């Protein structure tokens, strides 16, 4: 089950040429497929707009999404900082600012503060969804319900999303990913694998290699948790292929670390050491650094 290939270099070169002529809908389309190109596309459009306009903020939302997807946490905070508690932020976009502030706080181990911001963001998105339901808002709400450990509410909300029968692969990719996370937290291995596989199947319907890499990684983790190590390794390798094609260095190194861990779990110390050598600490997501140290210590303690 390989990642769905796209000609990534063609996309990048096309956007270098066509960015000046891009419409808002074009930028939205590329941001749903390729986060690196999204950053350039959104920033170029923003340069022509006032930061008080709703259109500028639409592009900023896409830019923040891309920074988080690429795990550029420091750049994410630099972008957020001017807007924290800033009354000039349009009401529609205040939940976006608090969402990513909460995620940044969590990434920096400030979980109590992060929870406050995530709860604020959840309340804001829920109010918007009540007024005007949409798949995009549904994804935000479901992600936040899981992030603040409201699992029963998340499962109930996901049922309403599924029954809405939206024509939205992105929604169902994220919905099943979040349900997989709930199953993982509940230690329900069978449903964990089932939901991660469904999320992967939906991810492959969208030509976004970066998100396909994440879906493969999550599916592989579910297999690893069930001790299906051979299948897990294959899924990790498929995810690594996607991440390399997407030039997502954070995900590449995350998956390389996972592969070292799978070898370690099977007692293959030499293979685990070799795989760990390919992990770049400078490009590893911040949240994975404690795992790197744990795995490294365990490998070398067994020598």
Asked if the structure places residue 255 within a domain, the reply is yes
The answer to whether 139 touches 168, Cβ cutoff 8 Å, is no
Asked if the structure places residue 236 within a domain, the reply is yes
What are the Cα distances from residue 85, in Å, to 65, 80, 82, 164, 215? 20, 10, 9, 35, 34
Asked if the structure places residue 237 within a domain, the reply is yes
Asked if the structure places residue 238 within a domain, the reply is yes
Tens digits of residue pLDDT in 209-263:
999 999 999 999 999 999 999 999 999 999 999 999 999 999 999 999 999 999 9
Give me the number of domains the chain comprises: 1
Q: What are phi and psi of 53, to 5 degrees?
A: -90, 150
Distance CA 161, CA 165 (A): 7
Asked if the structure places residue 298 within a domain, the reply is yes
What are the Cα distances from residue 120, in Å, to 90, 114, 127, 218? 15, 10, 11, 28
pLDDT 10s digit of each residue in the chain, 303 long?
677 654 333 334 343 334 444 455 666 666 766 788 888 888 888 899 998 899 999 999 999 999 998 889 999 999 999 999 999 999 999 999 999 999 999 999 999 999 999 999 999 999 999 999 999 999 999 999 999 999 999 999 999 998 888 888 988 999 999 999 999 999 999 999 999 999 999 999 988 899 999 999 999 999 999 999 999 999 999 999 999 999 999 999 999 999 999 999 999 999 999 999 999 999 999 889 999 999 999 998 886
Contacts of 271 (CB under 8 A, 6+ apart): 263
Which has the closest alpha carbon to 79: 51, 109, 116, 41? 51
Q: Is the dihedral of CA 246, 238, 208, 100 positive or negative?
A: negative
Asked if the structure places residue 264 within a domain, the reply is yes
Distance CA 245, CA 1 (A): 16
The answer to whether 274 touches 241, Cβ cutoff 8 Å, is no
Q: What are phi and psi of 284, to 5 degrees?
A: -80, 140
Asked if the structure places residue 233 within a domain, the reply is yes
pTM: 0.73
Asked if the structure places residue 261 within a domain, the reply is yes
Domain that holds residue 302: 224-303
Contacts of 136 (CB under 8 A, 6+ apart): 171
Tens digits of residue pLDDT in 32-44:
667 888 888 888 8
């Amino acid at each position: 089950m390989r990642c769905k290939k796209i000609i990534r270099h063609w996309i990048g070169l096309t956007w270098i040429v066509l960015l000046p002529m891009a419409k808002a809908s074009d930028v939205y389309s590329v941001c749903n497929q390729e986060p690196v190109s999204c950053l350039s596309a959104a920033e170029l459009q923003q340069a022509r707009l006032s930061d008080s306009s709703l259109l500028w903020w639409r592009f900023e939302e896409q830019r923040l999404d891309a920074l988080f997807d690429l795990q550029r946490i420091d750049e994410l905070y630099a972008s957020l900082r001017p807007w924290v508690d800033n009354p000039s932020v349009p009401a529609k976009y205040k939940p976006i600012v608090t969402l990513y502030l909460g995620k940044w706080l969590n990434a920096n181990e400030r979980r109590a503060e992060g929870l406050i911001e995530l709860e604020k963001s959840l309340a804001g998105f829920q109010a918007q969804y009540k007024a005007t339901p949409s798949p995009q808002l549904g994804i935000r709400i479901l992600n936040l319900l899981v992030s603040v450990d409201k699992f029963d509410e998340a499962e109930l909300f996901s049922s309403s999303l599924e029954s809405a029968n939206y024509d939205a692969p992105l929604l169902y990719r994220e919905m099943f990913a979040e349900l997989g996370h709930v199953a993982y937290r509940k230690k329900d291995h069978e449903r964990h694998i089932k939901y991660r596989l469904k999320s992967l199947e939906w991810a492959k319907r969208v030509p976004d290699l970066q998100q396909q890499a994440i879906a493969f990684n999550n599916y592989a983790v579910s297999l690893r948790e069930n001790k299906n190590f051979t299948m897990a390794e294959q899924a990790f390798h498929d995810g690594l292929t996607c991440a390399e094609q997407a030039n997502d260095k954070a995900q590449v190194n995350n998956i390389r670390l996972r592969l070292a861990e799978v070898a370690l779990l099977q007692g293959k110390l030499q293979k685990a050491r070799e795989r760990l050598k390919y992990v770049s600490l400078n490009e590893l997501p911040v949240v994975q650094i404690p795992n790197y140290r744990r795995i490294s210590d365990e490998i070398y303690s067994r020598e």
